């Protein structure tokens, strides 16, 4: 099962980048959608923080060391930081893109874990992917 730990660490790194982008958006959203998006981004980054912790603890449970520094995480992540101050619509589009990428990655790690007989990782990740798909659907419905 420890062969799943590197994939979990990459996932952990991507969730850290996603978390920080959501914090950035929460702090910097402007315009007529401010109140809705400020609250939504807080809800999303709070959920991402829980996922980060669960992923790191699962890596530890598998006998590996989670990526723990920002540099390690940035080096391992496939999601990119958002250095600019995008408008609200771009924030939503970026969040949807990240949710899509994360969900695809989660589903890939689920398959890898299932093939390795790692039911604990499968049980952890399946609900995360399901919830992200629902969140993406709701965001798409909200923007029309």
CATH topology of domain 2-143: Ferritin (1.20.1260)
pLDDT tens-digit series, residues 17-54: 999 999 999 999 999 999 999 999 999 999 999 999 99
pTM: 0.94
Burial class (CB in 10 A: 0-12, 13-18, 19+), 83: exposed
Q: What is the pLDDT of residue 26?
A: 96
Give me 8's structure tokens. 């979990």
Nearest to 12 by CA among 135, 112, 125, 140: 125
- According to DSSP, residue 63 is labeled T
What is the domain partition of the chain in residue ranges? 2-143
- Spans in the chain with pLDDT lower than 50: none
């Amino acid at each position: 099962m420890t062969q799943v730990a590197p994939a979990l660490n990459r996932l952990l790194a991507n969730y850290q980048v996603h978390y920080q982008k959501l914090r950035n958006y929460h702090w910097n959203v402007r315009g007529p959608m401010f109140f809705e998006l400020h609250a939504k981004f807080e809800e999303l980054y709070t959920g991402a923080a829980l996922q980060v912790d669960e992923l790191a603890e699962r890596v530890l449970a598998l006998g590996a060391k989670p990526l723990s520094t920002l540099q390690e995480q940035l080096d391992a992540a496939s999601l990119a930081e958002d250095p600019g101050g995008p408008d609200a619509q771009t924030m939503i589009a970026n969040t949807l893109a990240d949710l899509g990428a994360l969900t695809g990655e989660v589903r890939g790690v689920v398959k890898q874990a299932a093939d390795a007989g790692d039911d604990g990782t499968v049980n952890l990740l399946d609900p995360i992917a399901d919830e992200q798909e629902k969140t993406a659907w709701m965001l798409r419905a909200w923007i029309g």
